[in-house]
A and B are shown apart, each in its own frame.
Chain A
Amino acid sequence: MGLLRYESQVRPPLVDGNKEYHQITEDICRPVESKPTKAWWIGFSISLVFLIFGAVSVTMEVVYGIGQWNLNKTIGWGWDITNFVWWIGIGHAGTLISAILLLFRQGWRTGVNRAAEAMTIFAVMCAGQFPIFHMGRVWDAFFTLPYPNTRGPLWVNFNSPLLWDVFAISTYFTVSLLFWYSGLIPDLATLRDRAKKKWRKLFYGITAFGWTGSTKHWQRHEALALVLAGLSTPLVLSVHTIVSFDFATSVVPGWHTTIFPPYFVAGAIFSGFAMVQTLLVITRKVLSLEQYITIEHIEVMNKVIILTGSIVGIAYLTELFMSWYGANAYEGFAFMENRLNLNSPYGWSYWIMMGCNVLSPQIFWSSKMRRNVTVTFFMSILVNIGMWFERFVIIVTSIYRDYLPSSWSTYYRPTIWEIGFYMGTFGLFFTCYFLFAKYFPVIALAEIKHILKRSGDNYKKKMDKLEGQESEGFAKEHAHDHGA
C-alpha cells in the first residue's frame, strides 16, 4: 500500500506539530478569542501614536499647502511620491501569493496568504494617501473621476498616466479586498460558531454572510476564489506597470525609460515579499504560530526575494548600460552624474539602493542563511530600505538636475510634516494590522485544514498505519464503512 502514500519526499511538511483539525481551530482562534496581550496593547498604542502624528502632518499640509513640505520649483515630487510607489510595491506580494500561487497550486501559500493579503490591502490604503494628499487642492480630488458633470464637455485627460493610476489602483484595491474577504468568510463562520458573547455572535454573524459550510457553499466559494485569482493575476502585473508609466512616459531624463514596467513589477514583488517576511517573522513569534508559518515558508519566500532582487539588479545594470549606449547626453548625465557619482549631492542614495537591493540579498544563496529567522528579518528590513531608496533615486535624482542647468535645485530634504506623513502611514498600516490580528484569523483556517489532508504529521501518522496494510485488508476495511 506504500503507493497510496501521497507525500513529497523532497518537500518538508507544510504544517509542523501533530495537528488535528480541532487543534488548528484552537490555535488560530486563540488570539482572536482571548484578551489582547500586553505586547499587542503596546504595539497598537505605538501605531496609534504614529497614526496621530500622520494625521497632524496631513492636516498641516491640507490647511497651509504643500509649502509645508520642502518640495520646490524644480523638485515637484519628493517623499510623497516615493512613499506612494514604495507602499504600492509592498502591496504586491499579497495578491501575488493568493492569486498567482493559487493558480500554480502552490500549497505553501496557505500558511501566509491571509496575512499577506491583509498586508496588501493596508499597504494599498497607505499608498493611496500620497497621491491624494500630494495634491495642492485635495478637496478637488474628485476632478480625477470621469463622472457626468454639469461643466459641459469638461472631462478627465485620458492621456495622463496619473489618471491611469486612479483606475489601476482603485481596481486593484477593490479586487484585492474582495479576494481577501471572500477567503475570510468560512473562517468568520467558524468564529461565529465558537462565539460565546453576544456582540461577537452578532459581529461574526453579520460578517460571515450566513455561511453554513454546505457543499454548495464550498463549491461556490472555490469557484469564486478561482475567478478572483484569475482577475487579480493580470492586476499584479498591471498596477505597477501603470505606476511606472508615471515616469516612463515623461520626458525627464532618468524617468523616460522603456525598461520601467518589468523592472517596477519585479521590484514590487521583491519589496512585497520583504515586507511579508518582516510581518510574518513577528507575527509567528508573537502569536506562537511557528508550526503554521514554518521555516519552510520563510525559506521559500527568501528564494523569491533573491530571484526578484537579482532581476532588479539586472534592471539597474541594464539602465546604466543603456544610458551609456544610448549616447543621450542628458540621460547619461542623469545616470552617471546624478546617481552613479558618489560625490554628487545625492550619489549616496544610489549606493544605498545598490547595496540594499542588489548586493545584500545575495546572502540568500546560502540555505543556512535562508533558514535563519534573524538574518531573514534583518534582510527584509534592508530590502525595504533599499526599495524606498530605489524610488527616491528614480524620482528625486532625475528631476533635481535635468535639462536646464539654471534650474538645478538646491539640496532637498524633508520637513517634519513630510516625515510625519510617512510615519503616519506606518501608523495606519500597523493600526490596521493589529486590529486585523486581533479580530480576524491571521492564518486561513479553512485552507490550512485543506492541506492537512495531504501534509503534516497527522497525515503521516495515518499513512504509516496504511503503509503496513495490505491492499486487500484496506479494501475490506473500507468496503463496509461508507461514510464512517
Chain B
Amino acid sequence: MSENKYWQGFGEFSGKEEYEQRIQNEFQEELPFEEKNDKGWLDAATPRRDFLKYLGFSTAAASLAAGCKVPVKQAIPFGNKPAEMVPGVAKYYATTYVQDGDVVPIVAKVRDGRPIKIEGNTLSSFTKGGTTARAQASVLDLYDTNRLTHPKRKVGDKFEEIPTFEQLDQMIIAAMSGVKNPVLLTSTITSPSTKDIIAKYPGLKHVQYDADSFTGILLANEMCFGKKSIPSYNFSNAKVIVSFGADFLGTWLSPVEFSRQYVQNRKLKDASFEMSKHYQFESFLSTTGASADVRLTHRPSETGAVVLALYAALGGNSTAPSIDKKLQTAIDKIASELKANSKHTLVVSGSNDKNIQTVVNGINSLLESYGTTIDWSTTLNCRQGIDADINKLVADMESGEVDAVMIYGANPAYDYHAADKFSAAIKKTKIAISFSEKLDETSELCTYLVPAHHYLESWGDAEPKSNHICFIQPTIHPLFKTRPFQTSLLKWSGSEKDYETYFKEYWISKIGSSIAFDAALQSGVLETATTNSTTKAFNSNSITSAATSISNSKPNGNIELVLYQKVSIGTGKQAGNPWLQELPDPITKATWDNYALMSMSMAKELLGVNLANGTEKEINKYEYFPEKPVVKITSGNKEIELPVLILPGMNAHTIAVAVGYGRTKSLGKVVEGVGKNASIFSSFNGTSTDYFSKNVSISNTGKKYKIAQTQIHNSYEDRTEVVKETSLANFKSDPNQFKKYRDDLAKNYAPLTGDYSKEGTLYSSHEQPGLKWGMSVDMNSCVACGACVIACHAENNVPVVGKSEVVRYHDMHWIRIDRYFVSDKENADDLKSVVFQPMMCQHCDNAPCENVCPVAATNHSTEGINQMAYNRCIGTRYCANNCPYKVRRFNWADYMGADSFPNNQDQKLVGVLDPVVHQMNDDLTRMVLNPDVTVRSRGVIEKCSFCIQRVQEGKLIAKKEGRVLADGDAKTACMTACPTEAIVFGNVHDKESRITKTREEHKQRLFYVIEQVHTLPNVNYLAKIRNTDELPEVEHHEEATH
C-alpha cells in the first residue's frame, strides 16, 4: 500500500527546500522595519520614531483613499500599538504658535501622528483660547511643499545639499574660525532659553530687527520711563479708547489679547447701555477703524499734529500746530470726554515715531491711565527690535567690519527699507547662514542654509509678556532634515548638547522639578504672579522737545502713502500659505493681491471713476467687473504699479498699500505674481522707520488688473431685515426697536399661539425633542479678524480654489464675514459705520434648500442641523439658488483631487486651475486634511455643517461616559477660534447652556436674518450698536410684511 501524500501546491509536492523554509517563516515577506544592512528604512537613524511618521503618512493616504475610491497606496498596521495611541482618536498637545514676535498659546490636534488643527489654549490668561487667522493657518505651513528639506550650501549660483549635519557642522566651524564680529540677526526673540543660548555664544552680537518695528514706542518709553520696553495694555478697563492709527484689533502688538479685552465692554445685554467708546484716528480704513464708534481721518504726516492737539486740548503744556477744523472740533470733544473718564481711558498710537509716542505717553500720563489701563508691572515683549541697530549692521557689513552673519526669522532683503543696500552688504560678508524654513529673499543671498524646524516640530518657549511663559513641544517628528537653530548655535559654540536637552535642563532648573516641568508643558503655559507692581515715574521733560520736532514737520500738500498690514498676511512671513492668501481681507473682501486703497474723491480726480455720484452705468462698470484700474505709484526713484480699490472712509489725500506681498518665487508658485512689494516705500527718519511716504505721485496707466473679491456690493441697501445696526443713542431711546419687529411678525403670522414657527406655515411642524443646536453671532463683538474662516478651512477640509477661481466667484468658504459700509448720504466718502456679519449656513428649520432637492441629498436632522449627504448629491444647484443666505458652495471643479475622474485638474481652455490647487493636492499638503471630514468631489454642493463631526464626537464622549451632554462638549471650529467670543454654539434645549443664556440675555439685540421669509434659522444675530449720539433724522418704521 503506497503512502498518501497530502499536498496543496506543487511547491509542497516536490518538497523543495526553499518552500520548506518559506512556510516555516511566519512573515513571508520582509518586514518593513529594518533592512539587512542594518540601516533603518530611508536611512533614518531612529526607525522607531520614523515609524510614527510613516504611519501618519500612510494612514492619511489610506483614509483618503478609502473615502474617494482611489487605490490604497500603503497601509502599515501597528504591530504593537503604543499604549497612549488609539487610531482615529485625536490627541491634543499644548504648544505655542510663534511667528517672529507674535505669540499665541495653542493646542494642536494630532490625528494619527499628524497635527491637523490649531485650537487656542484656554489656560492662557491673556489670549483665553483666542487665536488669529495666522495661527490657525500655521498648521498648513508645516506641510508646505516649498520648505527646505536639507541643509545646503551655496556653490557658484546654486545651492548644493549637505548630506549630514556632522559635515555641515564641520564646514561651519571651519569657516567660522577666525571671522571677526559674527552677528546673529533675528526678528524679535521672546524665548528666554534661546536668549540664554545666544548670550553664551562667544563673541556673538545679537541684532533684532522687526519688519513692523515698534522702535518709536520702545525709545519713547526709554525716554519717559527709563525702560526700553512696552507696557501691557488693558482695553477692558477703558471707557474711552482713542487710537491714533493703532490697529490693535488686527495687527498691533497683541491683537488676540486686545480684542478679547476690547469686546468686554461692548456686549450690550438687555437694559444695559454701558459700552466703551472708541475713537480711531487714521489715514486709511483699518480693521480696527472699522470697529470704531467714531472715525476721523488725516494724512499720515499729520499724526503728530493730531496727537499734539489732543495733548494740548487736555491741558498739556504745548502749542499744537493748526489742524483741520473738523479734526480740531473732534479733538476738543474727545478731550472733554477723556477728562471726564480719566483713569479709565486709553490712548494708543500705531506710529513708529519716537516723538509721537512720547506725546502719547504724555497724554496717558495726564489722564492717569498708568495703573488702570496701562500696566508697567507686566511688559509686552513681542517687539524688541530697534531700527538703528540693523542700520548699523548694514553699514558694518558694507565696510567689512562684519565677516559672518547668521539670520533667523528676519528677512531684511525683502522688508528692510533699504533692502537693496542690505542685499549688497550681505554679499561682502565671508559667511552668511540662514536658518529660514523656506528659501526666502534673504536666504537666497546666504552661503549656508540650515533650515530650522517648523514650530509644530520643535521644542521651545516664549515669553510674550513678562512672567507669562508659553511652552512649545513637538507634535510630530520632523518631516525633513531640519534642525532647531538653537541646536546649531550650541554645536557651533562648542557645546555637545542639543537644544532639546538644553531647553529641558534650563526649565527644570528654573521650575524646580521635572514633574513640575512636565505639568507646565502639559498645560502649555506657566504664569507667575507679577513681582513688581509699582508704576513707573513719568518724565515729562521729554515732551517739550518731542512737541517741537513734531511742530517742525509739516505736510507738504502732496499725496501721501501709508503702508499697512492685512490681518491675513501681516508682514508677509506666511505669504506662502494658501489659506491666508485666500482669506478675504475684512475690509476690501479681496483675496490674493495687494492694491492701492483710495478714496472716492481721489479716484474721481485721478482715474475719472466717479463712484460717489456718478451714473449708475459708471458705478456698475467698476463694481460688477473684476478688472480694476492700475496706477503707477512713484516716490523718488521707487515705483510700482498696483491696481486700485476704491473705499469709503479713506483720507482724501492718502493711498494705502498692504505690505507682505510680491514675495520671491522661491516660496513656491503659490505666491508667484501675487501683489507687489510695498515695503520699498518705507524710510528711515533718523531714529526709526516710517511706514508712510509723504510725497508720492500717482499716474493712471490705463491698464486694468483683475482683483478677486468675494463680495462686490458694499451697501446693505437699507435692508434692515438683513442687518440691524444703530447708534447707542437711538438704541437707548427705543431699546425694543429690534424686538418689536420680531413681535410684530409673531403677531401677524401667529395670532393664536404666538408661535411663529408653528403657525406661520401650512405644514404641520415637527417635534424636536432632545438636542437642538443653535448658534448666536454677536455683530458687536465681531472684529473681522478672520480666525473663524481659517479654522473652518482647516476643520472641514474646505478647498482652496486659487485666484482665477475666486475671480469667477467660485470661492468655497463655508463661513464668510459679510461687510457692509454705512456712509453719509451726501458724502459717500464719509464712512459712518462698518458692519461685520459672519455668515454661514443658518440651519433653517424651514429650509428652502431642503424641499427643492430632487434626491433629498440635503435634509434636516432631528437636532435641527441641515445636513448634506455628499454621496447622494447630483449637483443640480437648485438648493444654492433657493438659499436666501447664499451660503451653499458648489464644487465647480475637482479642487480636492476627489473626483470620480482621476487627476482631473488639467483644464485647458476654461477654468484653468492655479498652481495652488495642485499644491494643495500634493501628498504632503494633504496630510493636513481632517480625516473626520469627507473631501468633497467635483459636482456636489457643500456648506457649513455646524461641525457635525465635532457634534457627533461630543455626543459619543458623553454617551460613553454615561452622562447627559454638557454645554461645551460640542463646539464648532469657528466658535473656538474666535478671540472675542462673538460666536456661541450649543444646545438650545439646555436651559443652562451658554447659547440659551446668550439668547435670553440679549433679547433686545437678538434678530434672525430675513426672518420674514420664514426660514426659521437656528443661527441668530445680535445687532450692532455704535456708541454715538446720532439719532436718525426720520423715524424708520419697519413693516412686518412677508
Contacts and interface: CB of A to CB of B under 8 A. Distances in A.
Contact of A68 (B715, B811, B885, B907): B907
A401 B713 CA distance: 10
A66 interface: yes
A66 B939 contact: yes
A407 B891 contact: no
Contact of B719 (A155, A329, A341): A329
Given A136-B877, A143-B855, A409-B809, A65 B1041 contact: no
13 contacts: A64-B911, A65-B894, A66-B890, A67-B892, A67-B893, A77-B881, A134-B876, A136-B875, A137-B900, A138-B874, A250-B882, A252-B884, A404-B719
Given A250-B881, A410-B624, A162 B852 contact: yes
A60 B852 CA distance: 27
Contact of B938 (A69, A136, A406, A411): A136
Contacts of A66: 875, 877, 890, 892, 939
A7 to B, nearest CB: 54
A464 to B, nearest CB: 63
B938 A157 contact: no
Given A63-B904, A162-B876, A411 B624 contact: yes
Which 6 pairs between the two chains have the least Cβ-Cβ distance? A136-B875, A136-B939, A67-B892, A72-B809, A76-B877, A407-B886
B890 A404 contact: no
Contacts of B617: 343
Given A136-B938, A410-B712, A417-B910, A65 B892 contact: yes
Interface string B106-144: 000000000000000000000000000000000000000
A143 to B, nearest CB: 4
A423 B147 CA distance: 49
A156 interface: yes
Interface of B: 615-617, 620, 624-626, 711-713, 715-717, 719, 722, 805, 808-811, 816, 818-820, 837, 839, 848, 851-856, 872-878, 880-882, 884-886, 888-894, 899-901, 904, 907, 909-911, 937-941, 1009-1010, 1013, 1015, 1039, 1041-1042
B810 A67 contact: yes
B67 to A, nearest CB: 16
Nearest to B871: A140
Contact of B874 (A67, A77, A141, A404): A141
A416 B856 CA distance: 32
A70 interface: yes
Nearest to B718: A329
Contact of A415 (B715, B876, B910): B910
B1015 A251 contact: yes
Contact of A137 (B854, B884, B939): B939
A65 B892 CA distance: 6
Nearest to B711: A406
Contacts of B900: 137, 139
Interface string A403-430: 1111111110001110000000000000
A405 B716 CA distance: 6
A160 B839 contact: no
Contacts of A154: 856, 872
Given A67-B911, A72-B808, A411-B625, A159 B851 contact: yes
Nearest to A157: B856
Contact of B624 (A139, A341, A345): A345
How would you classify the secondary structure of chain B's contact residues: helix, strand, loop or mixed? loop
Contact of B851 (A74, A139, A157, A409): A157
A215 B819 CA distance: 77
Q: Which of B880, B937, B1015 has the most CB of A within 10 A?
A: B880
A138 to B, nearest CB: 8
Contacts of B941: 136
A144 interface: yes
Contact of A404 (B848, B877, B885, B910): B885
Contacts of B886: 73-74, 402-404, 406-407
Contacts of A156: 854-856
A327 interface: yes
Interface in A138-196: 138-141, 143-144, 154-157, 159-163, 166
Contact of A343 (B616, B937, B1039): B616
Given A157-B856, A160-B854, 4 more contacts: A64-B904, A65-B893, A134-B877, A406-B818
B944 to A, nearest CB: 14
B907 A406 contact: no
Contact of B940 (A136, A327, A330, A399): A136
Contacts of A367: none
Contact of B910 (A60, A161, A249): A60
Nearest to B819: A406
A71 interface: yes
Contacts of B816: 406
Interface in A369-402: 399, 401-402
A411 B620 CA distance: 9
A65 B722 contact: no
A411 B809 CA distance: 10
Given A72-B809, A74-B886, A144-B854, A403 B722 contact: yes
Contact of B820 (A69, A250, A406): A406
A344 B876 CA distance: 28
A281 to B, nearest CB: 37
Interface in A320-342: 327-330, 333, 341
Interface string A220-252: 000000000000000000000000001001111
Q: Which of B805, B938, B941 has the most CB of A within 10 A?
A: B938
Contacts of B853: 157, 160, 162
A135 interface: yes
A343 B623 CA distance: 13
Given A251-B882, A405-B715, A406-B711, A70 B852 contact: no
A58 to B, nearest CB: 13
Nearest to B881: A76
Contacts of A333: 717
Contact of A64 (B715, B856, B875, B907): B907
B893 A136 contact: no
A349 to B, nearest CB: 14
Given A64-B907, A137-B939, A250-B881, A407 B711 contact: yes
A410 B809 contact: yes
Contacts of B878: 76-77, 160, 162, 246
A76 B874 contact: no
B900 to A, nearest CB: 7
A410 to B, nearest CB: 5
B818 A404 contact: yes
Contacts of A74: 809, 886
Given A60-B910, A328-B1041, A136 B722 contact: no
Nearest to A73: B809
Given A252-B881, A403-B884, A135 B872 contact: no
B874 A140 contact: yes
A153 to B, nearest CB: 10
A405 B722 contact: yes
A357 B345 CA distance: 67
Contacts of B877: 66, 71, 76-77, 134, 136
B894 to A, nearest CB: 6
A409 B620 CA distance: 12
Contacts of B715: 405
Q: Which of A250, A343, A404 has the most CB of B within 10 A?
A: A404
A12 B948 CA distance: 73
A305 to B, nearest CB: 32
A343 B616 CA distance: 6
B855 A157 contact: yes
Interface string A74-85: 101100000000
B493 to A, nearest CB: 56
A74 B941 CA distance: 13
A250 B820 CA distance: 27
A160 B851 contact: yes
